[in-house]
């Protein structure tokens, strides 16, 4: 019995009752402690104190800048500008320059920010928290960099309490129990400067990648002989059209077909519905219920590069309620924000040549020998088309979709096939070069983050 008791004791930790100041087990046991070999660990109370925040009474016709905060140390940002009559709460908090800012009901994943000059005239709801920083002890930019460290995020996430979707750190715990490495102010300044110097180089690399991306878009316009997309439609008070010429009840397309992004190309144009089937049926009769097919949810299509990045497999028995497609089809996201983000691709090497996936895809199946699939995909991914398609959204906010009629009536220039191939190849080459640039930039940023963390903790 005595041996069993001794054996059990190794699983029990004891703490003097007089030494307890918090009922949180993880804080009492210290299992989540982080340390630094280089710098002293200080609680937030060393450089942070409760803020004296002014309240703002909301007026219906006044415009307000609403601020929010992003995860993983990306900081505070302007969420929107809106009139007071659209705000549910009628009393907000006035932001202050260089104050620490976070959401008191969702404090995880490094979702802390510093109020910059640009955001100091913003307001925040009562769900948000502000704290004043002692600038003689903390460089706000250094603190923001700390929130980008995975090690800090993991540590602080271990301190949260609450239920799913409402996980937070109590302000008292943040002040007294959360400890982070705080070098001298001079060392903080040096670390921030070194970080920013490297970021200047990374920004230059980003500009190069953006320029390559932009040139790919411009080159398509130039090859087709069209002007840059105007982004608006000239309105007339009265517009006449022959009834016999109407093949769609879409008022914008009836009145403004000539403003189709590529409608004024130097090449003759035809409607996409003359060149391809839009959302056709897919014959699966040759497959048994047990046969495999490719499964493509929305997240498996790249926003940036028009690629199928996942290779999931399902079976014919699971296709009910999904969109069906086959090798050679173009799938094109119709719902916001996936559409304007460019989620589309040409499907190749599907399992058994067939697939199924999200109902939020339009399916385009080429039927004409006058166009190449890769050329059509290039035009459907083009910035001008994605921007134009937004004008035809149907549905409510957050669930808006591009109707089938938009694609059916989209005017497509028909250059010779060799020109189509050249346009598609050059566009693909440009996107691939931009992709390599963005991947290099991503690796630079990851390495920079890793190096900063190393300097802080090792």
In this prediction, residue 107 carries a pLDDT of: 80
CA dihedral 446, 449, 450, 456 (to 10 degrees): 180
Q: How far apart are CA 376 and CA 360, in angstroms?
A: 19
Helix (H) or strand (E) holding 283: none
Based on C-alpha coordinates, what's the Rg of the chain? Answer: 29
Give me the residue label for tokens 């497999």.
313
E strands present in 358-417? 361-366, 411-413
Q: How far apart are CA 64 and CA 200, in angstroms?
A: 32
In this prediction, residue 3 carries a pLDDT of: 56
pTM exceeds 0.85: no
Residue 419 · residue 223 · CB < 8 Å: yes
Q: How far apart are CA 195 and CA 403, in angstroms?
A: 47
Residue 130 · residue 67 · CB < 8 Å: no
Residue 400 · residue 248 · CB < 8 Å: no
Instruction: Please give the structure tokens belonging to residue 445.
Output: 């940023």
DSSP state, residue 157: H
Q: How far apart are CA 294 and CA 285, in angstroms?
A: 16
pLDDT tens per residue across all 458 residues of the chain: 555 555 544 555 555 555 444 455 444 444 457 888 889 999 999 999 999 999 999 999 999 999 999 999 999 999 999 999 999 999 999 999 999 999 988 787 889 999 999 999 999 999 999 999 999 999 999 999 999 999 998 998 888 887 766 777 889 999 999 999 999 999 999 999 999 999 999 999 999 999 998 999 999 999 999 887 665 444 444 445 455 544 445 544 444 456 689 999 999 999 999 999 999 999 999 999 999 999 999 999 998 888 999 889 999 999 999 999 999 999 999 999 999 999 999 999 999 999 999 999 999 999 999 999 999 999 999 999 999 999 999 987 678 999 999 999 999 999 999 999 999 999 999 999 999 999 999 999 999 989 999 999 87
Residue positions counted in the chain: 458
Q: How far apart are CA 170 and CA 186, in angstroms?
A: 30
Give DSSP secondary structure letters for 135-184: TTT--HHHHHHHTT-HHHHHHHHTT-EEETTEEE--HHHHHHT-EEE---
Give me the residue label for tokens 């959302």.
279
CA-nearest of 423, 405, 420, 415 to 257 is 405
Instruction: Please give the structure tokens belonging to residue 14.
Output: 């004891």
Q: Are strands 292-296 and 354-357 parallel, antiparallel or unpaired?
A: parallel
The full set of domains in the chain, from first to last, is 32-182 (3.90.220.20), 235-417 (3.90.220.20)
Residue 389 · residue 404 · CB < 8 Å: no
Collapsing DSSP to helix, strand or coil, 17 comes out as helix
């Amino acid at each position: 019995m005595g041996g069993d008791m001794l054996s059990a004791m190794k699983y029990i930790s004891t703490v003097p009752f007089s030494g307890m100041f918090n009922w949180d087990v993880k804080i009492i046991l210290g299992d989540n402690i982080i340390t630094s070999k280089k710098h002293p660990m200080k609680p937030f109370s060393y450089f942070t104190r409760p803020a004296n925040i002014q309240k703002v009474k909301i007026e219906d016709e006044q415009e307000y800048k609403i601020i929010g905060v992003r995860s993983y140390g990306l900081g505070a940002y302007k969420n929107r500008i809106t009139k007071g009559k659209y705000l549910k709460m009628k009393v907000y908090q006035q932001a202050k320059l260089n104050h620490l800012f976070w959401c008191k009901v969702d404090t995880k994943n490094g979702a802390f920010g510093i109020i910059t000059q640009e955001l100091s005239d913003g307001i925040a709801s009562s769900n948000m928290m502000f704290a004043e920083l002692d600038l003689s002890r903390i460089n706000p930019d250094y603190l923001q960099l700390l929130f980008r460290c995975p090690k800090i995020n993991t540590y602080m996430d271990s301190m949260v309490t609450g239920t799913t979707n409402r996980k937070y750190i109590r302000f008292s715990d943040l002040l007294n129990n959360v400890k982070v490495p705080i070098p001298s102010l001079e060392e903080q300044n040096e670390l921030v400067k070194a970080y920013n110097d490297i970021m200047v180089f990374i920004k230059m690399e980003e500009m190069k990648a953006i320029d390559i991306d932009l040139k790919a878009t411009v080159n398509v316009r130039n090859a087709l002989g069209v002007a840059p997309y105007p982004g608006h439609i000239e309105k007339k008070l009265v517009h006449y059209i022959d009834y016999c010429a109407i093949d769609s009840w879409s008022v914008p397309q009836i009145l403004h077909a000539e403003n189709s992004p590529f409608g004024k190309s130097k090449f003759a144009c035809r409607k996409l519905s003359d060149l391809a089937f839009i959302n056709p049926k897919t014959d699966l009769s040759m497959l048994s219920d047990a046969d495999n097919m490719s499964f493509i949810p929305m997240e498996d299509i790249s926003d940036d590069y028009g690629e199928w990045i996942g290779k999931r497999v399902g079976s014919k028995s699971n296709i009910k309620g999904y969109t069906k497609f086959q090798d050679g089809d173009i799938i094109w996201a119709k719902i916001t924000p996936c559409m304007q983000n460019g989620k589309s691709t040409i499907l190749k090497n599907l399992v058994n040549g067939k697939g199924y996936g999200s109902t939020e895809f339009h399916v385009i199946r080429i039927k004409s020998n006058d166009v190449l699939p890769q050329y059509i995909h290039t035009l459907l991914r083009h910035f001008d088309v994605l921007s134009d398609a937004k004008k035809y959204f149907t549905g409510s906010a957050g669930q808006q979709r591009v109707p089938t009629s938009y694609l059916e009536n989209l005017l497509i220039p028909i250059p010779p096939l060799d020109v189509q191939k050249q346009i598609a190849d050059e566009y693909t080459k440009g996107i691939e070069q931009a992709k390599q640039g963005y991947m290099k930039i991503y690796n630079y940023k990851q390495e920079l983050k890793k190096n900063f963390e190393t300097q802080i903790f090792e």
